[in-house]
Chain A
Amino acid sequence: MTRTLIVIGHGMVGHRLVEAVRQRDATDAWRVVVFGEEPRPAYDRVALSSYLDGKSAEDLSLTGQDVWDDPMVELRLGTAVTGVDRAARTVSTADGSVVGYDALVLATGSRPFVPPVPGRDLDGCFVYRTIEDLDAIRAAATEGAPGVVIGGGLLGLEAAGALRRLGMRTHVVEMAPRLMPLQVDEGGGQVLGRLVTDLGLTVHCGAAIESIDGDDRVRSIALADGTVLDAELVVFSAGVRPRDELAEVAGLERGERGGFLVDEFCRTSDERVWAVGECAAVQGRCYGLVAPGYSMAEGVAEQLLELGDGTFPGADLSTKLKLLGVDVASFGDAHGQTPGALEVVYANNAAGTYAKLVLSDDARVLLGGVLVGDAGAYSVLRPLVGRELPAPPEQLLLPAGSGVDAGALPADATVCSCNNVTKQDITTAITEQQLTDVPGVKACTRAGTSCGSCVPMLKTLLGECGVVTSTALCEHFPQSRSELFEIVRATGTRSFSELIGKHGTGRGCDICKPVVASILASLGHGHVLDGEQAGLQDTNDRFLANLQRNGTYSVVPRVPGGEITPDKLIVLGEVAKEFGLYTKITGGQRIDLFGARVEQLPRIWRRLVDAGFESGHAYGKALRTVKSCVGNDWCRYGVQDSVSMAIRLELRYRGLRAPHKVKAGVSGCARECAEARGKDFGVIATEKGWNLYVGGNGGFTPRHAELLAADLDDERLVQLIDRFLMFYVRTADRLQRTSAWLESLDGGLDHLREVVVEDSLGIAAELEEAMQRHVDSYTDEWAGVLADPDKLARFVSFVNAPEAPDPTIRFVEERGQIRPGPVALPMPAFATQEVSS
C-alpha cells in the first residue's frame, strides 16, 4: 500500500532525500509531497556565489524534468508550511491547505543570523542565502562604492568576494581577532588576512558593530572603537541559525542551541517525524555543511525503505575552500583541543603559505591541521587523521608533491569524504573494473564527484595500482602532443623530417603526421600544402575539402556569422547546378556542396573565389564556424549586436589549426538562439557586455559550456578568447575537444580562469602575440592552391589519365538531387565515423 511522505523544505538536503527515496523505492511504497517556501526547486546553494559570475538559476538547479515527470513526487513550491498536527498526522500551509502524512521529514535549513544592532533594517542591508538575496544585492551594488560585510567567517569571505566582483570597495568586519576563527588558527588567520588584503579587501578584525547609520538608506557603520566606515551596502554574514519555528507548533523538542532535537537516526521523539540537514540538532549538534546533511538524508531514506539502520555516522567537518582564489583547508582537531596535543607549524611568509599539524601527545598520531595559501597536501593529510604518521611531520608539511604519497595511506582511510569512499574502495574498483582514468574512477565509485578536492589523490591511486597512463603520441614519438608543440616552438623546427629525426623514431604514421602538420600550421609555417607538409595532411587537409563516403568531397565556403548577400547565395546555387552537386544547409550556418570529384575541386574553387568566397575550413581540425543569432539589429529582444561580433570573431580566428575542430556561437541575449553554450566557446550578450562561456560541445558526450568571465567589453572579450584558444592549441592532446581538455586540466575551470583571465602563469601576452601572428599571416588556402601550378597538378583523378572518371564513383537520384550510389564492393558494417559538417 502506498504511504505518504511529506518533506518540508526543498533545499539541498530535502532534495537529496527525495532523490534517495525515489532511486531506491522499487515498489513505489512512498508517494512524496514536498513543500518549498522558495519560488524555485532546490538549487546548489554551495555554488550560490557563481550566480553573480553569470551562472543562471537553471545552471544551479539540482532538479531536472524527471522530478516533475515523476508521478510519485508532488512538488509544491512557493508554499510555506505553517502548522503540523502530529496527532492528526497532517501539515497545513500558509495558503490554507491541509495534507496528511505517514512520515514527515523536516528539512527547513537555516536562516542567516542578523545581530540586533540598531539600523539593521535600513535599506541597503542584506543577507546572503538565496538567489533572491543575490538578485537584490546585485541590483543595489554600485561600482566603486563602499560595501561592508559583517562577519569574516567562511560565508563572510564568500560574500566579500562577491561584492568585490561586483566592483565594490569591500570591507570585512570580524568580531574575532582573526578571519575564519572557526576553521583556522591564529597563525593561519594572519596569513589569510594578508592574502585577502593583497586582493584589495580591507579587513577589520577584533571589531564590534555599534550601529548602522543613514536616513532611509545605509550610509555608514560605526564600530565600537569609534571608527566610522562609509557603506552604501551591508551584507550580514554573521552565522546561521537553524529554522526550527515549527518545533513550537508541532510540540517538538529543540536542541540547546536551537534546531529540531533528533537522535542518531535523525528521529525526533515522534517516531514518524525526522529532521535532516541544517535544521537538525543531531544529539544536540547542528551541522552547517552540506555533506553531513546528505548523509542524514541517505540514512533516513534507508530507514523509510527498511534497507538498513540508517544511523548518522557523525560528520567530518573538514573543509577545503578556495575563497577569493585563496586556498584554505582545515581538518580534524584543527584547534588542538585534544588534551596534550602538540603542534607543528610551517609558515612561509614570503610565499604566503601556512601549514599546521596537530599531533597526539607522543607526536605519532595525526589529529588535525590547518593549511592556508597552499592546500595541496590536504588530500593526503585528511584521510590520515586518527592514524600514525607515515613520515616525519616536517616532511608532511613540505609544499605539495614532495611530501608523502598515497602508499602511506592505510586501505580503510577515507579518501573522498564527500561521498565516503575509502582508499580500498577505489583501488578495488580500479583493479576489478580495470579502470584506466579518473573519469572511470569517478563513474564507478562516486569519489571525486562532489567538491573535487580528492581528485589529485585519485590520480595517485591509479598510478599506485600500476595504471600507466602513457602520453606517448604513437609508436614514433614518446612525447605527448603538447610536449611536441613546445619542442617545435622552442627549437623553431620547420619540418616533420627534422622533428622525427631528432625526437622520434621511424617514419611516422597517420596519427603523428597530421598532429605535427597541425602544430606547424598553428605556428604559422606556410601553406598547408607546401613541400613536405602536403604528405603529412589527412586527406581533408590535403584536398582542402571533406572526404565523403564514396571518395568524393564536399566543399564548404566560409559564410562568416551566417550572413550572406543574395548575390553570393545565387553564386552558390549556380556552382552547385553547374557541377551537379548535392546541396545542404548545415547546422553551422553553412551551405555544403557535396559530390565533387578531386579533379573538379579547383574549378569549383575558382568560381567561388572569384565571387568573393574563401575556404570555410570545414575540412580541418580548425575553427569551423561562429554561429550567430539575429542580434539587436532585427531581433526585438537583442541587447547587443551578435552578428557583427560573430563576424569579427570568425574572421579573426579563421584558419586557426587546433587539436580538434573548434566551433563557436554568439547570441544577442540570454534567449540563446545561437546555442552558443553548446560550442567550444560561446558568447552571450547581457546588458552589461558579453559573457564568455568555454568548453561546450555537441558530439558523443554533449556538454554545456561554462562561464569563464562575465560582462566583458568587445576588446576584453577578444583578448580572453585569444588567450583561451592559444592555450588550448598549445596544451591539449591530439583530437581532444575543449570540453575534454577542460576536464583534464588540473584545477579545471578555476585553473583555466587563473591562466586566461588573471594571467597566473604570466603567459597571456605571449598567447596574444601568437594569436596576432596567426591573424596577420592568414591567407586563403583555396586561393593559394589556385595560384600554384605544382599544387594544382595534384588534383587529378588519375595521374596518367586526368580526365578519366573514377569508376568507383556512382550517383543515383533522390528528392531531385544526387546521392552516392551503391559501390561495387560490399560495405562492411562499421562503427560510426565522425561526420564533419
Chain B
Amino acid sequence: MTWQPICALEMLPPEYGVPALVQDRPVAVFRTHDDELYAVGNVDPFCGAGVISRGIVGDRGGEPTVASPMLKQVFSLRTGQCLDDPSARLPVYPVRRRPDGVVEVALP
C-alpha cells in the first residue's frame, strides 16, 4: 500500500470535501465534524460526473454521509454504500493524517 499526500489538513475544513487525483483516480476526501477523515470515489455512479467531493456532508441516523450534489442520492462515507439505492456504491480508500498535518490517501 502506497500512501500519497493530498493536501494540508487546513485545506479541508470540518464537514467539507475536496477532490484529489490518486494515481489518475478521482477521489473525494472528507473531514467530518469530529475530525474523522474519509475518502471515497469522486465519480457519482448515477451520472458519471466527478462531483461527489462537492456534496453536503452530514449524517443519517448517526452514519456519516455525503449527498451527491447532482441528483441528491446519499452515500455512507464509511462504506461507500448508497443509502437510497442498494445497487450503487462508491469505492472507499484508506485515508490518514500524518503527524505534520498532511492528509494522505492510499490505493489498496
B residues 46-62 near A (Cβ < 8 Å) are 46-51, 54-62
Assess whether B11 is in contact with A799, with CB atoms less than 8 Å apart. yes
Assess whether B51 is in contact with A539, with CB atoms less than 8 Å apart. yes
Min CB distance A753 to B, Å, is 37
Task: Provide the A531-569 mask, 1 if CB < 8 A to any CB of B, else 0.
Answer: 010111111001100010111000000000000000000
Contacts of B61 in A (CB 8 A): 475, 506
A residues 801-823 near B (Cβ < 8 Å) are 801, 804, 806-809, 823
Contact of A800 among B16, B20, B45, B65 (CB under 8 A): B20
Assess whether B54 is in contact with A798, with CB atoms less than 8 Å apart. no
Contacts of A806 in B (CB 8 A): 19, 26, 50
Assess whether A507 is in contact with B11, with CB atoms less than 8 Å apart. no
Instruction: Tell me if B40 is interfacial: C-beta within 8 Å of chain A.
Output: no
Task: Provide the B6-36 mask, 1 if CB < 8 A to any CB of A, else 0.
Answer: 1100010111101111001010010011000
Residue of B nearest to A507 (CB): B59
Contact of B48 among A506, A535, A823 (CB under 8 A): A823
Assess whether A808 is in contact with B43, with CB atoms less than 8 Å apart. yes
Instruction: Tell me if B106 is interfacial: C-beta within 8 Å of chain A.
Output: no
Min CB distance B46 to A, Å, is 6
Given the known inter-chain contacts A507-B33, A510-B74, A800-B6, please indicate yes or no for A535 contacting B13, CB distance below 8 A: yes
Assess whether B26 is in contact with A507, with CB atoms less than 8 Å apart. no
Contacts of B56 in A (CB 8 A): 508-510, 513-514, 535-538
Instruction: Tell me if A87 is interfacial: C-beta within 8 Å of chain B.
Output: no
Instruction: Tell me if A744 is interfacial: C-beta within 8 Å of chain B.
Output: no
Given the known inter-chain contacts A475-B61, A536-B56, A825-B43, please indicate yes or no for A547 contacting B50, CB distance below 8 A: no
Assess whether B71 is in contact with A833, with CB atoms less than 8 Å apart. yes
Interchain CA distance A830-B84 in the complex, whole Å? 13
Instruction: Tell me if B69 is interfacial: C-beta within 8 Å of chain A.
Output: yes
Task: Provide the B72-108 mask, 1 if CB < 8 A to any CB of A, else 0.
Answer: 1010000000000000000000000000000000000
Given the known inter-chain contacts A507-B32, A535-B15, A830-B71, please indicate yes or no for A798 contacting B49, CB distance below 8 A: no
Instruction: Tell me if A824 is interfacial: C-beta within 8 Å of chain B.
Output: yes
Assess whether B20 is in contact with A510, with CB atoms less than 8 Å apart. no
Assess whether A798 is in contact with B11, with CB atoms less than 8 Å apart. no
Assess whether A509 is in contact with B48, with CB atoms less than 8 Å apart. no
Interchain CA distance A193-B65 in the complex, whole Å? 63
Assess whether B48 is in contact with A798, with CB atoms less than 8 Å apart. no
Min CB distance B65 to A, Å, is 7
Assess whether B74 is in contact with A509, with CB atoms less than 8 Å apart. yes
Assess whether B26 is in contact with A798, with CB atoms less than 8 Å apart. yes
Interchain CA distance A793-B37 in the complex, whole Å? 20
Assess whether A510 is in contact with B67, with CB atoms less than 8 Å apart. yes
Instruction: Tell me if A583 is interfacial: C-beta within 8 Å of chain B.
Output: no
Interchain CA distance A448-B21 in the complex, whole Å? 59
Instruction: Tell me if A479 is interfacial: C-beta within 8 Å of chain B.
Output: no
Interchain CA distance A542-B59 in the complex, whole Å? 19
Min CB distance B44 to A, Å, is 8
Given the known inter-chain contacts A542-B54, A806-B50, please indicate yes or no for A800 contacting B7, CB distance below 8 A: yes
Contacts of B48 in A (CB 8 A): 550, 808, 823-827
Most buried by B among A510, A797, A826: A510
Contacts of B7 in A (CB 8 A): 799-800
Interchain CA distance A794-B5 in the complex, whole Å? 17
Interchain CA distance A549-B48 in the complex, whole Å? 9
Assess whether A538 is in contact with B69, with CB atoms less than 8 Å apart. yes
Assess whether B21 is in contact with A798, with CB atoms less than 8 Å apart. yes
Residue of B nearest to A804 (CB): B21
Instruction: Tell me if A828 is interfacial: C-beta within 8 Å of chain B.
Output: yes
Contacts of A808 in B (CB 8 A): 26, 43, 48-50
Assess whether A828 is in contact with B46, with CB atoms less than 8 Å apart. yes
Given the known inter-chain contacts A798-B19, A806-B26, please indicate yes or no for A509 contacting B50, CB distance below 8 A: no
Interchain CA distance A534-B29 in the complex, whole Å? 16
Min CB distance A795 to B, Å, is 11
Contacts of B29 in A (CB 8 A): 799
Assess whether B51 is in contact with A551, with CB atoms less than 8 Å apart. yes
Min CB distance B80 to A, Å, is 15
Contact of B20 among A542, A550, A799, A824 (CB under 8 A): A799
Contacts of B65 in A (CB 8 A): 509
Contacts of B45 in A (CB 8 A): 825
Assess whether A510 is in contact with B21, with CB atoms less than 8 Å apart. no
Min CB distance A704 to B, Å, is 31
Interchain CA distance A512-B74 in the complex, whole Å? 14
Contacts of A823 in B (CB 8 A): 47-49
Interchain CA distance A512-B60 in the complex, whole Å? 12
Interchain CA distance A551-B55 in the complex, whole Å? 12
Contact of A547 among B26, B57, B70 (CB under 8 A): B70
Assess whether B60 is in contact with A510, with CB atoms less than 8 Å apart. no
Most buried by B among A507, A543, A797: A507
Residue of B nearest to A496 (CB): B15
Given the known inter-chain contacts A507-B59, A549-B49, please indicate yes or no for A539 contacting B54, CB distance below 8 A: yes
Interchain CA distance A806-B6 in the complex, whole Å? 16
Contact of A507 among B4, B13, B58 (CB under 8 A): B58
Residue of A nearest to B12 (CB): A799
Given the known inter-chain contacts A509-B60, A535-B15, A551-B50, please indicate yes or no for A800 contacting B67, CB distance below 8 A: no
Interchain CA distance A66-B62 in the complex, whole Å? 56
Assess whether B13 is in contact with A534, with CB atoms less than 8 Å apart. yes
**6 A/B residue pairs, CB under 8 Å, sorted by A:** A506-B58, A535-B57, A539-B55, A547-B51, A551-B50, A800-B20
Interface residues, chain B, with chain A CB atoms under 8 Å away: 4-7, 11, 13-16, 18-21, 24, 26, 29, 32-33, 43, 45-51, 54-62, 64-65, 67, 69-72, 74
Interface residues, chain A, with chain B CB atoms under 8 Å away: 475-476, 497, 506-510, 512-514, 532, 534-539, 542-543, 547, 549-551, 793-794, 796-801, 804, 806-809, 823-828, 830, 833
Seed contacts A509-B59, A797-B19, A800-B5; 9 additional CB < 8 Å A-B pairs: A506-B58, A510-B55, A514-B56, A539-B54, A539-B69, A798-B26, A801-B21, A825-B48, A833-B71
7 pairs of A and B residues whose beta carbons are closest in the complex = A823-B48, A551-B49, A539-B69, A510-B67, A825-B48, A509-B58, A510-B56
